[in-house]
Each structure stands twice: as structure tokens, then as C-alpha cells.
Chain A
Amino acid sequence: GAGVSQSPSNKVTEKGKDVELRCDPISGHTALYWYRQSLGQGLEFLIYFQGNSAPDKSGLPSDRFSAERTGGSVSTLTIQRTQQEDSAVYLCASSLEPNTEAFFGQGTRLTVV
């Protein structure tokens, strides 16, 4: 595709429900990143995929968060039993190779009510 695509763009969910956020990276990009952007908090690193290597999950805030990347392309971030503090914009980015320019999607705005 022309850029990184994220869906949905907005998601409102009830506390305790599970949500899945999708990211379609730019075709051919080997690196894929998930970040969380909260008001006044900057960008918080969540998880990083690089090729076929084991992902770097060091930023996931709790075991309610998980992510997978199928076939080295599409990635899904899953949040189980959502809490109000999970409300944020979730950003996905991809890059052709590590340490090169990262291209960001428009994000998914998650609101937990």
C-alpha cells in the first residue's frame, strides 16, 4: 500500500471487553513498531517486530497486552479486559530496515468507558 494503514481509526469499548487493533505496514518493510500516545505523555514504546526474529515485547505494560505479526506483514495488537487507563491513541509504524526512517499510520484512538 501507499502507507501504513491502521484500523479502526476510532474504537469505543466498555471496560472489561477485549479489543483488537490492526496494522497493515508498507509492503516489504521488515520492521514494525507499536506505540501508545497518551495526552501529555509522548510516545510510549510497546512492541517491535523485526523480520523473523523474536519480537521485543519489553514495552508492553501488562500481560493484558499482546501482539502478533502474521507472515511478516499484518500485525494485530490485542488488549484483553480493557481498563480506562488503556484509553490512548495506538500508533503503528514500519521501516524498510532497522535504524531507517519509520513511517507512521494515523493511529487508532481507543476510548474505554
Chain B
Amino acid sequence: GNSVTQMEGPVTLSEEAFLTINCTYTATGYPSLFWYVQYPGEGLQLLLKATKADDKGSNKGFEATYRKETTSFHLEKGSVQVSDSAVYFCALSDLADSGYALNFGKGTSLLVTP
């Protein structure tokens, strides 16, 4: 079956540092890939998505590129802010495996310090 693996946290960075959160996946079909974010005390919300190979999703300064050859969808941001502190979840949906039900990784906690 499908699965998502993302790097263990917590990740602690200073403000303006470069961020990478690794995410790799296993899928039987042609999945769509997502990053969701959960800010403290809030519900999950979509950060960005990519639906096919080589697509780049971007939002709020975050980017992730759908790499089929490496089965990866790493999240990056050039300069993080304190307000980016949150838990980040990589996810996929694949009609071939789960009828589009989202399959999430375990989440990576990010703490950005001033």
C-alpha cells in the first residue's frame, strides 16, 4: 500500500534560516502530493500541493517539487519566520490505492526562534 515518510522532528531553527523538511513516498499509482500545516491551537490546513511529476507547489514562501524519479516532495523555505512554527504534514492521495483518501506522514514539528 501507499505510505509517506517524513523526517523526524522537532526541527529548531533561528529566524531567517533555510528550511528543508524531507518527505518521500511509496505509491502504486500516480498520486497527488500535499503539505498540510497545523499551527498551535488550530486545525490542519493545506499549505501547498502538486498533482503530477515536476509540478512545483508554492505558498507563503514555501515550495515543494514533485520528484517522481526520487519519489520525493521535500518542503523548503528560504527564510523562516517565528510565525512559521507549526507541525508540517506531508500527504498523498492516490485513486489506485485508497480512492483519494489522504495518507499522511507522522508530521514534523518546527520551532523557529527569534
Contact = CB atoms under 8 A, between A and B. Distances in A.
A62 interface: no
Interface residues of B, number: 22
A34 to B, nearest CB: 10
A83 to B, nearest CB: 22
Given A42-B107, A99-B93, A106 B101 contact: no
Nearest to B98: A56
A105 interface: yes
B89 A50 contact: no
Interface in B49-95: 49, 51, 89, 93, 95
A101 B46 CA distance: 7
B43 A107 contact: yes
Interface size range of chain A in the complex: 20 to 34
A36 to B, nearest CB: 11
A35 interface: yes
The CB with the most chain B CB atoms within 10 A, among A48, A56, A102, A105, is that of A102
Given A91-B44, A99-B32, A101-B49, A50 B99 contact: yes
Interface of A: 4, 31, 33, 35, 40-43, 45, 48, 50, 56, 58-59, 91, 93, 98-99, 101-107
